[in-house]
Structure formats: C-alpha cells, structure tokens
Chains A and B, each alone.
Chain A
Amino acid sequence: MKKILFLLFAATLIAGSWYAYREFTRKPGNANSESTDFKLTAEELRAEFDNEDTANKKLLNKYIEVTGTVESVSPNEGTTDILLSTEDPMTGINIHLISEENEKVKSVKPGEKITVKGKCNGKLSDIELNAGIILD
C-alpha cells in the first residue's frame, strides 16, 4: 500500500514538473500554430476599425486571415512587413511576418492579390497584425 502511494506521489511530481517545464519554456504563438478566428478582406478589416473601440474589443489578439492587394513589401530588421491596400489611401493593413517566412516572401510582388494571416494588434496609422504568415 505504502509503495503504491509512493509511486503515485512520484508520478504526480514528475508529471507536475514536466508540465511546469513545458509551460515555462513555451514559445509565444504565431499564425502557424494558432487557429483562425476571422476571415476578412483588407477593406472589411479597415471598415471594422471605423469604430476603434468596438474593433479592439472584437479583434485584438485574434488571428485573422486577410485577403487583399499588396501595396508594398519591405524588410524590417531581419523580417518582412507586407502592406495591403484598402479603399482609404491613408490606412493600410500591415502584416509583420515571422522570420520563417523570409524565403517565401521573396516571391511576393506589389499589385498581387494575397491572403495572409496574423494576430491583430490594433490600429496606429495602419491596422497592424504580427506573428504573420503567407497563406496564398
């Protein structure tokens, strides 16, 4: 009986430590590891931010698939940002890609239609998404 209790205790301890270690070393999620919460066009996403407070409540930290036309592709300190155009020339959708996308992004050209996925951070001058990947 004592032996069983001891084994049970040891097993719990090992499982607990393993869980704690996994939790502690867990890397932040990105568009590859997280499921999609919303699918929108670039213009639909921009329109959501006509009311910034409502948009933040609905979309902040959510992973969004955005389809739109590439306005520009620009390097940003070892990674790349893709800007999608909307009907408002002052507001684009800016997706900050993860570094794993560095190769794939080389074939993306302005004017192309593209679908990207990223985590919504909110709005500055553009609507910003990070931890992003290229889908199509």
Chain B
Amino acid sequence: MIDPSKTYFMLSRFLLIALFTLPSISEAQTKYFTKKGQISFYSDTPVEKIEAHNKRVTAILEKESGKIEFSVLITAFEFEKALMQEHFNENYMESSKYPKSTFKGNISNIQSVDFSKDGEYPLTLDGELTMHGVTRKVNEKGKLIISKGKISASATINVALKDYNISVPSVVGAKIAEIIRVEIVIPQFDLLKK
C-alpha cells in the first residue's frame, strides 16, 4: 500500500525538478560528432601532382546554431612518397612547432536545412582557419547531405600558401601549386551522447 502523502511529496518533487530542468533541455544544442572525418589536399602543377590524405579528422556540429569545428593533426597526413611527407612536415607546415590545424566557424544558412527530410543542402561556411600558426577568416561553400536520417557533409577550401606564411623555395616552386585545394569530407556525423 502506497502512502498517499508520500506519493504527493514525490510527485511535487518530480514536478519541481521538471520545472527547472526542462528549459535547459530545450535550450541545449543537439550535437553531432565524428572522429573519422577526412581531409585531403591536392597540389596540381604541370610538373607534379601531389596529394595527401588524413582519415582521422574530428568534427563537431551543432544542429540548431550551425556552429561547426574541425581539428586535424598535421603529422597524420599520408603521402605517396616519403620525401613529400618529410618536406611537408619539416619545411612547410613545421608540424613539430604547429602540430594541429583547426577550423572554427558557422554554417550561416543552417536554418535552410531540413534535418528530417532527405536531400542535398548547399552550405555557406564562415569561420577561422588556423594552420602553420596563422589564423585567417575564410568563407567557403559546402554541402550537407541527409539520407535516411544520416548526416554527411563536404566542403572545399582553397588555401593560398603565402596567406599562412608557408614559403616554398624557388627550386621546388614549379612543383608545388600556390593555391592548394583542401577537401573536407565527413562520411557520417553521429549524435553525441551525453
């Protein structure tokens, strides 16, 4: 037999807790996360094509605000040839001094994405890219794909080496493009469990 006064006490306490926690729940952001994003970059010149891949990019996306962040470790980029990888780390990116690169920004048109409906949504990315110790504002296009409730995304950022104080000696200058195409692919965002 349940004591009615006890039930009343428990019920009122439940209501009280609900009253205080509900507003914070509704304000909380729905966060998506992955550790398996990919960043590839491509340098195309008539003399040589160089590409490198990194399959362990962390990315976090807030559904309501459109806030988005990427982080990548520079020494994890994999090249076809050892010399390219060594020059990239030692001479150009100085990865022992600047081991990480990040993008922090916003999807400014996140409101136009209907997360409940399959489709391909164009995105506008505004934010700050930090690499080689230099932070610069970037504004680029990307897309978000919703398919059967799964979220994937991609974007391309064109990086001018001189903007990030990366100088290429003129001897190898002809082999390395001045503008590097950086492709970001997030195969799948997972709902972040608290």
Chain A positions within 8 Å of B, measured between CB atoms, are 23-29, 56-57, 60-61, 74, 76-77, 79, 81, 94, 96, 119-126, 128, 130-131
Contacts and interface: CB of A to CB of B under 8 A. Distances in A.
A28 to B, nearest CB: 5
B31 to A, nearest CB: 13
Contacts of B75: 60-61, 119-122, 130
Interface of B: 35-36, 38, 55-56, 58, 71-73, 75-76, 78-83, 85, 89, 95-96, 99-100, 187
Nearest to A96: B56
Contact of B73 (A28, A77, A128, A131): A128
Contacts of A128: 56, 73, 76
Given A26-B81, A81-B56, A94-B56, A126 B35 contact: yes
Nearest to A61: B75
B55 A96 contact: yes
Contacts of A126: 35
B83 A57 contact: no
A25 B81 CA distance: 6
A122 B100 contact: yes
The 8 closest A-B pairs by CB, nearest first: A121-B76, A121-B73, A26-B82, A122-B99, A28-B82, A122-B73, A121-B75, A124-B58
A125 B89 contact: no
Given A29-B82, A77-B38, A130-B56, 14 more contacts: A23-B83, A26-B81, A26-B82, A27-B82, A56-B96, A74-B36, A77-B187, A79-B55, A94-B56, A121-B76, A122-B73, A122-B75, A124-B100, A125-B35
B96 A26 contact: no
A76 B56 contact: yes
Nearest to A24: B83
B76 A60 contact: no
Contacts of B99: 56, 60, 121-122
Nearest to A53: B99
Contacts of A81: 36, 56
Contacts of B79: 28
Given A61-B89, A61-B96, A124 B56 contact: yes
A114 B85 CA distance: 29
Nearest to B72: A124
Q: Which of A24, A28, A81, A125 has the most C-beta atoms of chain B within 10 angstroms of its own C-beta?
A: A28
9 contacts: A27-B81, A28-B81, A76-B55, A77-B187, A119-B75, A123-B73, A124-B100, A130-B75, A130-B76
